[in-house]
Structure 1
């Protein structure tokens, strides 16, 4: 690709007017680089291997030409058949893909039908939907194989397009056998598309068995957006200091906008939630054990600005899918004297979930490898938006930070990727005393009780109210996922921050003081609105102390 090559616009790609109107409605002004290159190739009928980083618009790159080709075939086809199959490794990603396709077929919804069969429903419940032969089916490999074996799905003669999204995760999520078996139920020759963020050995193996003389689109781009769009910070801190800093940053509103806090395990998610509850800070946990519908609803509410802080975990899903996969089953089985919860193999957090307009990613626990860091950081600074990643790094985690920085530098030693985010703990000693008491109050028993309580509560909502919410979808907004769990005794005074414990240098930033206290309380009521307006800014506000050197991070508008 030449630098001076003229870009191609959507209306120059010979797309149907109904697709162009839908593209305009979703707000896509011009195609991204991967869309510009992939759409014409797919329209030509070529097998394509697409490699592009997270947030580059890969879903639309295959969805737009797929819809166009189906509309073309409708003009000559006399029968309704399944024309396209999209496989993805997680239920959340299937839900996301389905939503994108629904948006793109808004003006041609009568002509093109798309269903998502990756949900937890029984096969017999989904069978009537498959009997109608929708044009596009979105599924996980395991679910599609189940329907094929049950005789609910016959793709041998009708399928024209096969897409495997997040192809680098399909095998690592344990779907290798399912994919190989599923190929026996598919046509020997059909247009195939692999989409991936990386080109690892799993993708190469999948390429050999799925693609035929493919065109490989490997964009020459970094793993993450440039420093002008995504800023990386780190703080050297141990566990209690991490908790204190997190408390101060959130309570004094020193970071602005939507924030995702990443930890290593689901138990740690609930520890953070219960810890912050004691200070009146409401958060939502993205619990992998809950049904996919609930997880997707939680993410949708987060995207809509219902709440601004979500706590999520990787659970080493990329390395140990068998032990890290997640499920809605709340039964516990005993193993070596310990109770272990079953988990669902069709879920992933750091990838496969469409978080929108995230301003900050906070790594409370530093990721265990380079790819996990890249995928976490990829939740922010998507499209043309700006964002920040703030990582807490303990002594044991320092080697991991060095590996990530070395990878991101890509051999250029003159580039400093991580900026030091100085934080003077002695200035907030009173906060540290509170944080210590609150952190110790969250015991393992409290975490276990909170985890089980939310599972029971959410599954009850999901099952008992399902039919009601189908008839009254607007009432679904009443269900919030950031409610307090109350498995730790709440001391009301902790939710208030007395003026005397706030350092003078922070009072203006936090909006605390005798003159502006009333103004701060009034502005609090419009907090969500103001954050949504500022969602395109780089909101990670830094603490500025007078007694040591620290450069303030200014907000930038994209």
Structure 2
């Protein structure tokens, strides 16, 4: 009898842990042999971990830190691992070390038997991957799997078109407003920022123009983050603003080797936060047609991973990067990584062709007026309000989704945070502000969307639920007659009275 799991799948983040567990369960259902799979999270107490691993299960999905906790507390015996473990899988291998799991992995690998089959999977090769290979693998086979139609040297699949827009940093808001409001990009759209404050600034800005969006960041409770991902994947809203602040900050190191304990503890807490959240890597976003880099990533590798959120499973996709003068250096590094011809012109990333200068200038006054109202205080207040809402939602989610896992529409994550109601005239762009070139481009995008069957991407489950609500007789009952019928009735009565009057007048004469 095995006293430890037979297969162990290690991933760097909670979000990926949840997704791997979900996919693995769907595969297990097709197996003839009954297998039990469990997921371990850092929020579990020692007693909960002990209960979950009782049996033990055949497959465990976890972060390295949780496994180390189990070994340290004797929940999993080192001898049992040596006797039972047959398969060890490390997904997103290059992130496992950068997220601060090196010590946890070293503690585990000392107990992994040589007969155990070990698999390392990563979208990119790096020094961290090489370090892991030496730590875990013995004379490994290396398998490179390019997309269909691509060569092994293609960094971004050919089914993803890459564009950029050069603009000043202060003009990024008006440019992204033009892209979304004039419908020049395909939905659904994933928008990346480098900080949580900027993501909320974007959300507040969008709200004033009637654009619904949700924010995904490391501050939110885990259940809320997972629910936001599920709602977005189900098509309940079209725009998701994600921050990969943890990835961009992960490179930073303390320069002073003799720094205070306060700095060290702060750095330690930061690594813990990094290990809990990850949105750029591994997460399987469903039907994302466009990725927008509102702020450029800190590294060229970060760009590759962001763009990898679209064009999945052989679907077409596109990316649009807003590049300011301050971001020219990293942009040149990205172009060099992707490949350039002899004239230093990128063969893979081109200027965005559908947005004209006139279209941007026509929206400038409105955009700048609204941008001035999105102050640092407004961002701070909305950020605190969103966190309070999600903490409350998280408690409700825990209880509700245990019994109703498919009820995604219980809580809205795209609701307004701004205290100021959006002005009605900002919701629509009047025809006189749209130049003919942009109008034609918008028509082309709409036709392409219709051809792909993407006309109602955000209406999937949400509209069905709302339709059912409107048919509830207790909610729609009114003692008053419907206005339209009333007006029609009044018109008919007036007409009949008028006809009767004419008839009497005719006969009396």
Q: TM-score, normalised by structure 1?
A: 0.71
Mapping of residues 319-338 of structure 1, within 5 Å: 320=250
1:386 matched to 2:309: no
Q: Partner of 1:108 in structure 2? A: 31
Superposition deviation, residue 425 in structure 1: 3.1
Q: Kindly tell me: are residues 530 and 344 of structure 1, through their superposed partners in 2, closer, same or farther at Cα, counting changes over 3 Å?
A: closer
Tell me the distance in 2 between the aligned counterparts of 1:508 and 1:411: 32
Shift of 1:497: 2.5
Cα gap change, 1:194/1:474 in structure 2, threshold over 3 Å: closer, same or farther? Answer: closer
Q: What is the deviation of 1:342?
A: 8.5
CA shift for structure 1 position 442: 1.2
1:418 and 2:341 are equivalent in the alignment: no
Within 2, Cα distance between the matches of 1:466 and 1:288? 18
Greater RCO structure (CA 8 Å; 6+ sep): 2
Q: Residue 268 of structure 1 aligns with which residue?
A: 198
1:457 is matched with which residue?
Answer: 389
Q: How does 1:1-12 map to 2 (within 5 A)?
A: none
Aligned pair partner of 1:222 in 153, 162, 166:
153
Q: Distance in 1 between matches of 2:272 and 2:154?
A: 33
Counterpart check, 1:177 vs 2:177: no
Q: Cα deviation per residue 1:82-128 (whole Å; 9 max; x = unaligned)?
A: 10111111111111211221121122387111111135333322321
Residue 79 and residue 209 in structure 1: after superposition, are their counterparts in 2 closer, same or farther (change >3 A)?
Answer: closer
Residue 136 (structure 2) pairs with residue 199 (structure 1)? no
Give the match for residue 286 of structure 2: 356
CA contact (8 A) 1:257 1:531 kept: no
Corresponding residue for residue 285 of structure 1: 215
Task: Output the CA distance in 2 between the equivalents of 1:115 and 1:169.
Answer: 22
Secondary structure in 2 matching 1:473? coil
Post-superposition offset of 1:318: 5.7
Contact 2:234–2:461 (CA under 8 A) maintained in structure 1: no
Q: Which residue does the alignment assign to 2:55?
A: 132
Any idea what the Cα deviations from partners look like across 1:246-280, whole Å, max 9, x if unmatched? Answer: 11221122212211111111111111111101101
Which stretch shows the higher mean deviation, 292-301 or 92-101? 292-301
Q: Is the 8 A contact 2:213 2:238 kept in 1?
A: yes
Aligned position for 1:445 = 377
CA shift in 2, pair 1:526/1:215, >3 Å: closer
2:326 corresponds to: 396
Tell me how far apart the structure 1 counterparts of residues 460 and 49 of structure 2 sit (CA, whole Å).
42
Q: Deviations over 1:348-372 (max 9, x none)?
A: 2211211122111111111222101
1:123–1:465 CA distance, 2 compared to 1 (3 A): same
By how many angstroms is 1:197 displaced? Answer: 1.8
Q: Distance in 2 between matches of 1:196 and 1:474?
A: 31
**1:111-157 C-alpha deviation (Å, 9 max, x unpaired):** 11111113533332232111131111011111111122122223342
Give distance in 1, aligned partners of 2:200 and 2:87. 42
For residues 527 and 407 of structure 1, what CA distance do their matches in structure 2 show? 34
Deviation larger for 415-424 or 218-227:
218-227
Question: Partner of 1:459: helix, strand, or coil?
Answer: helix
- Whole-angstrom CA distance in 1 between matches of 2:155 and 2:249: 21
- In structure 2, how many angstroms separate the alpha carbons of the residues matched to 1:386 and 1:134? 39
The superposition leaves residues 376-434 of structure 1 with CA deviations (integer Å, 9 ceiling, x where unpaired) of 11111122111111111111112222211111117776762221125333344341111
| Cα deviation digits, residues 480-534 of structure 1 (max 9, x gap) | 22111124553333223233322244446557xxxxxxxx9xx9994635999xx
State the match for 2:21 in structure 1.
98
The residue that corresponds to 2:366 in the other structure is 434
Deviation per residue, 1:526-547 (Å, 9 max, x gap): 4635999xxxxxxxxxxxxxxx
Quick one: distance in 1 between partners of 2:276 and 2:337? 29
**Matched residues in 2 for 1:135 and 1:430: separation?**
61
Rounded to whole Å, the distance in 2 between the matches of 1:449 and 1:368 is 27
The structure that has the greater radius of gyration is 2
Task: Identify the residue that residue 481 of structure 1 maps to in structure 2.
Answer: 413
Q: Distance in 2 between matches of 1:215 and 1:341?
A: 32
The alpha-carbon distance between structure 1 residues 360 and 153, as it changes in their structure 2 partners (threshold 3 A), is same
Q: Return the alpha-carbon distance in structure 1 between the equivalents of residues 201 and 25 of structure 2.
A: 37
Question: Is the CA contact 1:95–1:116 (under 8 Å) kept in the aligned structure 2?
Answer: yes
Shift of the 108–477 alpha-carbon distance from structure 1 to 2, 3 Å rule, reads farther
Q: Contact 1:381–1:388 at 8 Å: present in 2 too? A: yes
SS in 2 for 1:221: coil
Using structure 2 for the length normalisation, give the TM-score. Answer: 0.77
Partner of 2:430: 498
Whether the aligned pair in 2 keeps the contact of 1:118 and 1:138 (CA below 8 Å) is no
Partner Cα distance (2:141, 2:454) in 1 = 53
State the alpha-carbon separation in 2 of the partners of residues 218 and 474 from structure 1.
37
In 2: Cα distance, 1:440 partner to 1:109 partner: 62
Q: Distance in 1 between matches of 2:222 and 2:276?
A: 9
Distance of 1:180 and 1:80 partners within structure 2? 21
Task: Tell me the distance in 1 between the aligned counterparts of 2:252 and 2:329.
Answer: 27
Root-mean-square deviation (CA), in Å?
3.1
Please tell me whether residue 89 in structure 1 is matched to residue 15 in structure 2: no
Gap change, CA 1:501 and 1:347, over 3 Å in 2: same
Kindly indicate whether the alpha-carbon contact (under 8 Å) linking 2:359 and 2:438 is maintained by their aligned counterparts in 1: no
Structure 1 pair 224–300 and aligned structure 2 pair: CA distance change class (3 A): farther
Question: Residues 120 and 291 of structure 1 are in contact (CA less than 8 Å); yes or no, is this contact kept in structure 2?
Answer: no
